[in-house]
Structure 1
Amino acid sequence: MLLENPDNAVHADFSVPARLPQDEGARLAALQGYCVLDTLPDKTCDQITELARSLFGVEISLVSLVDEERQWFKSRAGLPAHETPRSMSFCAHAILSGGSLVVLDAQQDSRFRGNPLVTGAPRIRFYAGAPLVSSQGHALGTLCLIDPHPRQRFGPAEVARLEQLAAMVMERLEQLRNRGYTDHVTGLPNRARLMEVLRTRPHARGAAGLPCAALGVDICSREYLFDMVKALGWDYAEAFLVQVSRALCEALGGQPVYRVTTTTFVFLDESTTAQRQEHIANVRQQFVQALEIHGIPHQLDIAIGVLPAVDDIAGSDVVRSLLTVIDVGREEGVCPRQFESIHAENQRHAFWLLSALPMAFNASNELSLHYQPKVRLRDGSCVGAEALIRWVHPVMGNISPAIFIALAEKTAQIRQITAWVVRHAVAQVAAWQARGLAVPIAINTSARDFESDDILRLLAAQLKQHAVSPGLIEIEFTESSMASNPEGVRQRLESLRELGVKVAIDDFGSGFCNLSYLKSIPADIMKIDRSFIRSLEEDQADQVIVPSIIHLAHQLGFCVVAEGVESERTARILHHLGCDIAQGYAIARPMPADELEQWLGMEP
């Protein structure tokens, strides 16, 4: 056991990523060889984590596998996340220790006190991790315990019990690996078998001298499958996967098909270009009609990625490249999508940004808020401003919000961004309020912010702490926030209004809006999306749509704001149409707080 004493070493006051193990290459290869990453949960592992949580009296227990750039949880009890970046991982430190790692109080440990998992959810204070060591001696990850309360002691007897449970987990992983090259659900060859084929196949040309291609078929999103599991159970999900795999094999005329992730299948194609296109067409045609499993139809949204020449890249990169291009194809709505080297570069850059973002929250000068004024069209007076986050990285320089916000919205990090903006925007409003100036500030939110009451609690606490009038804060939400849980979002918006905060529907018209939602949304303001405003001067369709939106909004009692006003003529047209407020470059660009003060004519 290695019981960490933070006084034994000196570290800067931020999260310190673990160094790489000396056997990192072999360790990652061993981890891949177990074929458990991104697989469905295992009941035996789940039983062990639940037992560990109960036995040691902690809130969270995990079977954590430390991958190249993430830690992925094969089993998790008490934690909703499936994975976190390796840069934040306690377990990445644990696999270096040569034994179990115990951190009695993370806030007192200089390596961890600034870790986003300590300063934010799940607010780790106590951690204990026993390495999962393969028969070849490689530490693949840990069985770990996590709790938001520190401990005074975690003695040798407790460590020994934790290590016994870790040995049970490792034995289970060995059993899973020893199933060999066959996927136990579908009966198809698995990813390990594909890797073996790629390693041993001769680098020879196929029919007509063409290189061997790899085609990946993702039969549905992972969220769709996990929602199925929650609604109908594991047995039904496995029956679904079996029937889908049979349909795919039928479409490909008996070619070997490998199941490489929970929802992704791969086949190698050495045929001509025309035959390859025929194979792709057959796969697409196979899933045009809904697939019925036990009387329930499933209209599958498949995605196909194409890697034109597998011999041009390392076998270990084949699956990674296919998963990348499949994601790109889904985002672009292109099927099939062919892999290009830029896709891998973009994926690495995206992962780098997401890994660097937690550090930015703890830095003093990387993140800042700029404010874009909003003016009343009838008299030109300023009625407030929208708070917009900016990120200046010390190496990469200015990073566009369009890039890092879009990436963060795919993860729980968007909630951290919203929380950061709320704290700093309310503090700025308080500073202005103390100088006798009331400047209403609008704060953007994402759909993920309305999955819990966190934003409501945070906003209430910040308003109370800074003694800010709630009417000076406006929360903007988009139509997409209503999509998955309209009633839950409606109730949280109502709670915000009860707090005294104003609520605005942002980017109205940019997504699918159900008018039945609109009539019951507890909002004060409707912001027309800039896509309708940008070409208002010359686009006849926009000249019909915008007046209709303004009339509808006024009839429902909303104040109307037009975004993206980039010319004085557009502003005059909007005023003529009855729009209340305008925002855009024709009025002012986003600016730091001190420049906004000058723009408003405030005394220094």
Structure 2
Amino acid sequence: MLLEKEDNTEVEAAVRQESQRLAQLHGYCALDTPPDKLCDQVTQLACSMFDVEIALVALVDEHRQWFKSRVGLEVSETPRADSFCNHAIQTRHGMVVTDALQDARFSRHALVTGAPFIRFYAGAPLVTPQGLSLGTLCIIDSRPRPDFGASQFAQLNQLAAIVMERLEQLRNRGYIDHVTALPNRARLMEVLRVRGHARPGASGADAAVAVDICPREYLFDMVKALGWDYAEGFLMEVSRTLRRVLGTLPLYRVTTTTFVYLDETAPAQRRRRIADIEQRFTPALEFQGIPHLLDIAIGVLPMEEDVSGGDVVRSLLTVIDVSREEGVSPRLFESVHAEKQRYAFWLLAALPMALTTPDELVLHFQPKVRLRDGACVGVEALIRWHHPIHGNIPPDVFIPLAEKTGQIRQVTAWVLRQVVAQVARWLKSGRALPVAFNASARDFDSDELRELLAQQLKLHKVPPALIEIEFTEHAMANHPQQVRQRVQALRELGVKVAIDDFGAGFSNLSYLKNIPADTMKIDRSFIHRLLDDEADQLIVPSILHLAHNLGFSVVAEGLESERTATLLRHLGCDYGQGYAIARPMPLAELEAWLERRG
């Protein structure tokens, strides 16, 4: 019984060591990579030094041995079961077989009795600093070599050390994530490229799986609260947790919070593995005594023939976003996601041209009235895009995309120029009509908005009080002090400032007491149910009371009936905007509407 227990212990230790060895092999990111000049020079030198027919840099994977460099052999890999190197890596000292026909282990081996008729083999292991063998530098000949002695084997080991040093260099040259020491996005793209070249139209994996461990904002908040060192340690703990689930499957870190692995197993096993990942991250992940309840999202991309390696990461990030938006995880990438990707790419490529093409982008205007007497006190300028081929493109489609890429600043600049120029034209015709327009959170990342506005006001000789800039609470989320200073700088120009969509975002009351705004716009979600929803009937008067006490005038957005307008007027709301008053309309229609109202 004791002997049996010892045998089991030895087997378990061997399994653990092999798992560690494979993990290190994959971590070197050398499998399935292009030829390397230095490795090729070593194998050529080995053939010459030892007068042999074949020299190989052989990396022993789970089920195969793959040749990083080869001389005298056509194939790029062979099954591990047929490999002499599989025996050689079992020891740090390697293996020499001077005559395979006289060796009981190999005398009936297919590669000995058949091509390439191996009689001599010497393999020097490629040993990592941790003492694990990734493979060998081996030399092979069809002649027995009884004279191959210790000094020659020492020379072969020296050449193997050179190869190992080269693998270390390649590992650290642009393919390793410096935080987790995992292969990075560049390495994943290289693997996909090489596999796709070997199997045209396919990556070699049945599916690529992305695990986004948390919203990026969560990690950024962690950095602000606990520092980069803590956040990097947390990411290392996440990577270790994923590695424990994945075993020998290679894991890549492709963005700040997103990890990817390629899964070639059967669908049922793949689903079990994903379930294991979800189960591992369902309870709080504790790091340095602090529990983190993570909101992970998982996306799966089937590796079909029409998905190229270059599309994989982009497609996975898309399906991760879909997973978070829909609250469905894991989420399978579908053709409709690819269509949305292509459409989004086209929009972002077409937008810069639209900004310089006359009449492709236009402004529509929605009136804002004083509820007390119905007088029009201004309009809000809203951008519209009419593409000559694709027709009308809704702003709720292209504006969020522009915000994600930073193009929103060019869009805001275009709107600003059009607004100031239009106000100047109205002034020349005797109409002093205030105009509001929207700025995004990204517009407050720099002073460009203020500088451009000051320049345009001066150029067109427009009184600043006729311009109002609206921004949402979201703009305050990341850098409230910086945004407050930039909003104050805008007010110092003399323009008006409004908090848009109040109640739909963070609604942090500390922002309200510090933000130098003139107006608060109550989000339409509170207004369109006001007649029937008891909660809204409590919330809206409270917002009005708070806003007025803080010195804001208040606009109700989304007015859709006269009854709602009447109720808001009785509650003390100052202004209203919505379909009950007027829809957004082109310039000519707005001017006709204004004429009718006198």
Short-chain TM bin: 0.5 to 0.7
Instruction: Check the 8 A contact 1:181/1:193 in 2, yes or no.
Output: no
Asked whether 1:193 is paired with 2:187, we answer no
- Separation in 2 of the partners of 1:580 and 1:202? 66
- TM-score between the two structures when normalised by the length of structure 2: 0.64
Residues 264, 519 of structure 1: alpha-carbon distance in 2 compared, 3 angstrom cutoff: closer
Residues 281, 376 of structure 1: alpha-carbon distance in 2 compared, 3 angstrom cutoff: same
Equivalent in the alignment of 1:571: 565
- Separation in 1 of the partners of 2:461 and 2:174? 63
2:485 alignment partner AA: Q
Equivalent in the alignment of 1:467: 461
Displacement of 1:252 after TM fit? Answer: 3.0
Instruction: Check the 8 A contact 2:409/2:442 in 1, yes or no.
Output: yes
Asked whether 1:580 is paired with 2:578, we answer no
1:375 alignment partner AA: V
- Separation in 2 of the partners of 1:262 and 1:559? 42
- SS of equivalent residue, structure 2 residue 405: coil
- Separation in 1 of the partners of 2:246 and 2:562? 59
- Separation in 1 of the partners of 2:313 and 2:235? 19
- Separation in 1 of the partners of 2:546 and 2:228? 46
Equivalent in the alignment of 1:512: 506
- Separation in 1 of the partners of 2:266 and 2:585? 57
**Larger displacement relative to structure 2 (391-400 or 287-296):** 287-296
Find the partner of 1:548 among 534, 542, 550: 542
- Separation in 2 of the partners of 1:370 and 1:435? 19
Instruction: Check the 8 A contact 1:212/1:311 in 2, yes or no.
Output: no
Matched ranges for 1:57-72 at <5 A:
none
Residues 543, 466 of structure 1: alpha-carbon distance in 2 compared, 3 angstrom cutoff: same
- Separation in 2 of the partners of 1:293 and 1:367? 51
1:565 alignment partner AA: L
- SS of equivalent residue, structure 1 residue 585: coil
Residues 250, 532 of structure 1: alpha-carbon distance in 2 compared, 3 angstrom cutoff: same
**Larger displacement relative to structure 2 (222-231 or 192-201):** 222-231
**Larger displacement relative to structure 2 (184-193 or 412-421):** 184-193
- SS of equivalent residue, structure 1 residue 409: helix
Find the partner of 2:316 among 317, 322, 325: 322
Asked whether 1:376 is paired with 2:374, we answer no
Residues 277, 586 of structure 1: alpha-carbon distance in 2 compared, 3 angstrom cutoff: same
> Aligned residues, how many?
429
Displacement of 1:379 after TM fit? Answer: 0.7
Listed as ranges, the gaps of 5+ residues in structure 2 are: 1-31, 35-168
Displacement of 1:311 after TM fit? Answer: 6.2
- Separation in 2 of the partners of 1:239 and 1:493? 37
- Separation in 2 of the partners of 1:373 and 1:184? 54
Asked whether 1:498 is paired with 2:496, we answer no
Residues 351, 485 of structure 1: alpha-carbon distance in 2 compared, 3 angstrom cutoff: same
- Separation in 1 of the partners of 2:380 and 2:409? 18
The Cα offsets for residues 516-536 of structure 1, whole Å up to 9 and x where unpaired, read as: 111121111110101111222
Find the partner of 1:415 among 409, 416, 426: 409
Instruction: Check the 8 A contact 1:256/1:267 in 2, yes or no.
Output: yes
- SS of equivalent residue, structure 2 residue 208: strand
Displacement of 1:320 after TM fit? Answer: 3.6
Displacement of 1:238 after TM fit? Answer: 6.2
Matched ranges for 1:144-223 at <5 A:
186=180, 188=182, 190-191=187-188, 192-196=190-194, 212-220=206-214
Residues 271, 369 of structure 1: alpha-carbon distance in 2 compared, 3 angstrom cutoff: same
Find the partner of 2:276 among 282, 286, 297: 282
Displacement of 1:237 after TM fit? Answer: 7.0
Displacement of 1:220 after TM fit? Answer: 4.9
Displacement of 1:399 after TM fit? Answer: 0.8
Displacement of 1:313 after TM fit? Answer: 4.3
Displacement of 1:402 after TM fit? Answer: 0.8
Find the partner of 2:436 among 430, 438, 442: 442
Asked whether 1:454 is paired with 2:411, we answer no
Find the partner of 1:358 among 339, 346, 352: 352
Residues 260, 431 of structure 1: alpha-carbon distance in 2 compared, 3 angstrom cutoff: closer
Please provide the CA RMSD for this pair: 3.6
Residues 184, 551 of structure 1: alpha-carbon distance in 2 compared, 3 angstrom cutoff: closer
The Cα offsets for residues 533-574 of structure 1, whole Å up to 9 and x where unpaired, read as: 122222222222212211221122211101111111221121
- Separation in 2 of the partners of 1:182 and 1:413? 31
Displacement of 1:418 after TM fit? Answer: 0.8
The Cα offsets for residues 300-335 of structure 1, whole Å up to 9 and x where unpaired, read as: 553310124656745554444323212322344433
1:425 alignment partner AA: V
Instruction: Check the 8 A contact 1:182/1:193 in 2, yes or no.
Output: no
Instruction: Check the 8 A contact 2:201/2:306 in 1, yes or no.
Output: no
The Cα offsets for residues 248-276 of structure 1, whole Å up to 9 and x where unpaired, read as: 11133444434455643323445566654
**Larger displacement relative to structure 2 (452-461 or 227-236):** 227-236
- TM-score between the two structures when normalised by the length of structure 1: 0.63
- Separation in 1 of the partners of 2:565 and 2:485? 35
The Cα offsets for residues 346-401 of structure 1, whole Å up to 9 and x where unpaired, read as: 01111111111111111111111111001111111101000001111111111111
Instruction: Check the 8 A contact 1:194/1:258 in 2, yes or no.
Output: no
The Cα offsets for residues 183-232 of structure 1, whole Å up to 9 and x where unpaired, read as: 6765556413355456668999x9xxxx9433211335667778989999
Larger radius of gyration: 2
The Cα offsets for residues 21-51 of structure 1, whole Å up to 9 and x where unpaired, read as: xxxxxxxxxxx989xxxxxxxxxxxxxxxxx
Residues 414, 288 of structure 1: alpha-carbon distance in 2 compared, 3 angstrom cutoff: same
Residues 277, 487 of structure 1: alpha-carbon distance in 2 compared, 3 angstrom cutoff: same
Asked whether 1:557 is paired with 2:557, we answer no
- Separation in 2 of the partners of 1:363 and 1:523? 34
1:248 alignment partner AA: L
Residues 601, 284 of structure 1: alpha-carbon distance in 2 compared, 3 angstrom cutoff: same
- Separation in 2 of the partners of 1:457 and 1:589? 32
Find the partner of 2:528 among 531, 534, 553: 534
Instruction: Check the 8 A contact 1:377/1:575 in 2, yes or no.
Output: yes
Residues 197, 223 of structure 1: alpha-carbon distance in 2 compared, 3 angstrom cutoff: farther
The Cα offsets for residues 275-298 of structure 1, whole Å up to 9 and x where unpaired, read as: 544422332343346656678876
Find the partner of 2:474 among 472, 480, 485: 480
Displacement of 1:176 after TM fit? Answer: 5.9
1:505 alignment partner AA: I
- SS of equivalent residue, structure 2 residue 516: coil
Displacement of 1:299 after TM fit? Answer: 6.0
- Separation in 2 of the partners of 1:410 and 1:319? 17
Residues 229, 378 of structure 1: alpha-carbon distance in 2 compared, 3 angstrom cutoff: closer
Residues 176, 384 of structure 1: alpha-carbon distance in 2 compared, 3 angstrom cutoff: farther
Instruction: Check the 8 A contact 1:33/1:177 in 2, yes or no.
Output: no
Asked whether 1:399 is paired with 2:393, we answer yes
Matched ranges for 1:415-434 at <5 A:
415-434=409-428
Equivalent in the alignment of 1:53: none
1:427 alignment partner AA: A
The Cα offsets for residues 432-456 of structure 1, whole Å up to 9 and x where unpaired, read as: 1112211011111111111111111
- Separation in 2 of the partners of 1:265 and 1:581? 49
- SS of equivalent residue, structure 2 residue 355: helix
Matched ranges for 1:39-188 at <5 A:
186=180, 188=182
Name the % identity. 68
Equivalent in the alignment of 1:109: none
Displacement of 1:582 after TM fit? Answer: 0.7
